[in-house]
């Protein structure tokens, strides 16, 4: 029963923070983004919805759309927010992918969001190179502990793309492009000496995702 409660708590934190990340760029978007969604951009963004329910050994178990008021204000051209579960281990990973104007998409990192929701960052944010199908992607990876019992709680990966490889960028807001994709994943903490569950899912997801994004610069 305690494991079920921990799983539910993790999902509430992960999903809530992903939605907060989506919403947080609204004010910044007023500064450096155009708010009219051209039909072509909306069409490009809608391709994210075609990600399959089965990704390797992972199955879709939950999907939470971006709230309508957020869609009206943020004007994302497309986004998904899903939970996938490994059919062998029952591990769960929350993944959000969004496509929109550079300003809103580039700001508000997980270090800000998760630290205000019962967790605190444990250790530095690290850039990790992830070779997939002869392409070197990179992601930021950061872990969080529970504020009360100081136990590892979750691991978060995030990166941006202009439709090519995913990049752990220092300042994506200053990229010379109007539109960006962002990916953010949250999964269980990695035990010492073990493979990261979240990174494992990232490797499975990217080949599927790359066929559904387009070059934006």
| Per-residue pLDDT at 27 exceeds 50 | no
141, β-bridge pairs: 126, 157
Query: Strand 92-101 to strand 135-146: parallel, antiparallel, or no bridges (unpaired)?
Result: unpaired
Q: How confident is the model at residue 165 (pLDDT cuts 50, 70, 90)?
A: very high
What single DSSP character describes residue 161?
A: E
For the four alpha carbons of 29, 33, 36 and 40, in that order, the dihedral sign comes to negative
Helix (H, G, I), strand (E, B) or coil at 12: helix
Q: How confident is the model at residue 7 (pLDDT cuts 50, 70, 90)?
A: low
Q: How confident is the model at residue 35 (pLDDT cuts 50, 70, 90)?
A: very low
Radius of gyration of the chain (CA): 16
Query: Do residues 215 and 179 make contact, with C-beta atoms less than 8 angstroms apart?
Result: no
Closest CA to 212 of 52, 104, 95: 52
If 0-12 CB within 10 Å is exposed, 13-18 middle and 19+ buried, where does residue 145 land?
A: middle
Query: Do residues 7 and 86 make contact, with C-beta atoms less than 8 angstroms apart?
Result: no
How far apart are the C-alpha atoms of 52 and 142, rounded to whole Å?
27
Q: How confident is the model at residue 202 (pLDDT cuts 50, 70, 90)?
A: very high
Highest mean pLDDT among 13-17, 19-23, 114-118, 142-146: 142-146
How far apart are the C-alpha atoms of 101 and 177, rounded to whole Å?
9
| Per-residue pLDDT at 22 exceeds 70 | no
Helix (H, G, I), strand (E, B) or coil at 72: helix
| Per-residue pLDDT at 205 exceeds 50 | yes
Closest CA to 135 of 210, 48, 201: 210
Closest CA to 155 of 130, 186, 199: 186
Contacts of 187 (CB under 8 A, 6+ apart): 91, 92, 93, 94, 154, 155, 196, 197, 198, 201
CA 137 to chain centre: 15
pTM over 0.85: no
Q: How confident is the model at residue 146 (pLDDT cuts 50, 70, 90)?
A: confident
Min mean pLDDT across 21-30, 52-61, 102-111 is at 21-30
- Spans of all domains in the chain: 2-210
What mean pLDDT is predicted for residues 95-114?
81
How far apart are the C-alpha atoms of 12 and 169, rounded to whole Å?
27
Average pLDDT, the chain: 81
Summarised one tens digit per residue, pLDDT across range 51-101 is 999 999 999 999 998 777 665 555 689 999 999 999 999 999 999 999 988
């Amino acid at each position: 029963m305690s494991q079920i409660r921990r799983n539910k708590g993790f999902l509430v934190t992960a999903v809530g923070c992903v939605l907060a990340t989506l919403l947080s760029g609204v004010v910044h978007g007023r500064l450096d983004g155009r708010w009219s969604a051209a039909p072509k951009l909306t069409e490009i963004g809608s391709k994210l919805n075609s990600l399959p329910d089965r990704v390797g050994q992972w199955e879709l178990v939950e999907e939470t759309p971006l709230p309508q008021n957020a869609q009206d204000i943020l004007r994302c051209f497309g986004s998904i927010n899903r939970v996938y579960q490994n059919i062998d281990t029952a591990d769960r990973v929350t993944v959000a992918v969004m496509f929109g104007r550079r300003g809103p998409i580039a700001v508000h990192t997980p270090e800000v969001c998760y630290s205000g929701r019962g967790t605190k960052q444990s250790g530095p944010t690290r850039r990790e190179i992830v070779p997939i199908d002869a392409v070197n992607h990179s992601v930021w990876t950061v872990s969080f502990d529970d504020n009360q019992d100081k136990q590892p709680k979750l691991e978060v990966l995030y990166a941006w793309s202009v439709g090519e490889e995913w990049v752990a960028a220092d300042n994506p807001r200053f990229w010379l492009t109007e539109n960006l994709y962002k990916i953010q994943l949250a999964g269980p903490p990695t035990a010492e000496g073990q493979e990261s569950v979240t990174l494992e899912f990232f490797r499975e997801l990217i080949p599927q995702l790359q066929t559904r994004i387009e070059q934006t610069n």
